[in-house]
Amino acid sequence: MTTETPAPLAVTYAADAQELQEELGRTGGGPVASVGVLVFSGDDGPRLADGTPDPVPVGAVGAGVSVAVDGALFERRGFTAKVGRTLVALGTDGGPAVVFIGCGDARKADFETLRRAGAGFVRAAGRSGTALVVLPESFTGESGAGVDSRAGQAVAEGALLGSYRFVGHKSENDEGQIDRLIVLGAGLDGTGARRGIERGIRISRAVSLARDLVNEPPSSMTPRRLAEVAEEELGSSGEVTFEVWDEQRIADEHLGGLLGVARGSAEPPRLIRASYEPSDPLEVDGHVPHVVLVGKGITFDSGGLSLKTAGGMMTMKTDMSGAAAVIGALSVCGDLGIRIRVTALTPVTENMPGGRATKPGDVLTIRNGKTIEVLNTDAEGRLVLADGLSLAAELEPDAIIDLATLTGACVVALGNAVAGLFGNDDDFSARVTAASQRAGEGTWPLPLPDEYRKHIDSDIADMKNIGKTGEAGAISAALLLARFVNDVPWVHLDIAGPARSDENDGVLTKGGTGFGVRTLIELLDGYSPSSV
């Protein structure tokens, strides 16, 4: 028996007490149960963000709750306003609880601070009812066009992603949370804040879609089912054309890497191809920029004949996180008015140790004719991506970006919070880096040194699928991928670390994180051929 996944948290905006009263009446909800205010750390102890009203309106005009800082309470409870930490002061006489939300040093506050604040608040605000969070104008210390919009977006993303739960396979769900969040602007431009909140809602839906795809058990999220869900999510848009290649079509198209990895599985592989054509395209010298997204879609990775340990297999449904991110990002391009062409390619298969499985020592021929000697069948992601990147390069786009849970070596180098970024073009790499910073998703550039190319030289094929044992594993994998993009500007994101979280932390919840969706959206939305 399973229970339905709860409806996403509803997020709305009110500019003042009058609009708050109207919002509460329009939605028919109960009274405000908790109020969140942002608190900075300082030399003299925690303080409210400048511009925070006291009292904060909570319903009828004239009704409010005091949010004055209680230094003694903070000291007693050890609250220092560290980013994302919260302190709950219970309401009096049945009034709303006050949640003080830590935002750290005001001089370092940014939009990621707001995301973490939104996530921390929804976790502390209670198990049901309506919550109100105050977002004052002065929060970020930034000014200029779009600041209020970005602030609203950040709070909405934090709240929605922090409240995400995957409970569809639980017989009981007792993880209650607030039903509705109202963002109260204190001096913000209401039009900009509303626009940002709506954008944050849409982006969060895309991230949640990616998380759902990853979190689903591998025997139900098979290659065929992933293709079906992708078509359900993408195929209904008038701006997206969608097709799925079956095993015969994959063979006809000479995708030898994908076929080789799929051999050991009873589940047939799929190649998902979706193309977004904007209704209001951006033209540059008569050309609409075109970016191709390639996502690794191994719905379960046993390691093949190079079998993983039992412990190593426990989280291997996560190995299709690249494909999930690509699908999630494309699902929202139309809603956000992305103005460039976007194509998504996701080679999808299981990697299993069946009787027909590829054996160590076999040679596979990739779509572009290059050959790869397979010495470790657990290094399968680069084999399917080689086909995907070959197809991408044939489209002659302006740029290619691939996402893949590719190597444990990248986790060793960068940990679980940061993705490795490799690229063959400094300008495009800088654009992706800037997009990841705006999105609040950590990336770090790693090199592609020419002297390491010999690590993947093969005696009997054009290359081999593993490098030197214990040396530069993430780099060796990226160097192999680089041979399939021709001269197209390209970035490879190795997301093996941040694709999954083992704890609820900030906007992350346990399980698939949807890492990369926000970076892709930032990249596509702000893309121009000539500037970062």
Which residue numbers are catalytic?
308, 382
* 190-195, long-range: CB < 8 A, 24+ apart: 190/13, 190/15, 192/146, 192/147, 192/148, 192/149, 192/152, 193/13, 193/15, 193/135, 193/148, 193/149, 193/151, 193/152, 194/13, 194/152, 195/149, 195/152
Distance CA 152, CA 143 (A): 14
Hey, what are 66's tokens?
């005091």
- CA 23 vs. chain centroid, Å, equals 31
Contact criterion met (CB below 8 Å) for 144 and 195: no
Contact criterion met (CB below 8 Å) for 95 and 65: yes
| DSSP string over 325-341 | HHHHHHHTHHHHT--SE
* Non-local CB neighbours of 209 within 8 Å, separated by 6+ positions: 233, 324, 327, 328, 331, 514
Vertex 449, ends 444 and 450: CA angle to 5°? 155
Distance CA 241, CA 520 (A): 19
- CA 96 vs. chain centroid, Å, equals 33
Distance CA 509, CA 492 (A): 25
Hey, what are 273's tokens?
């191809």
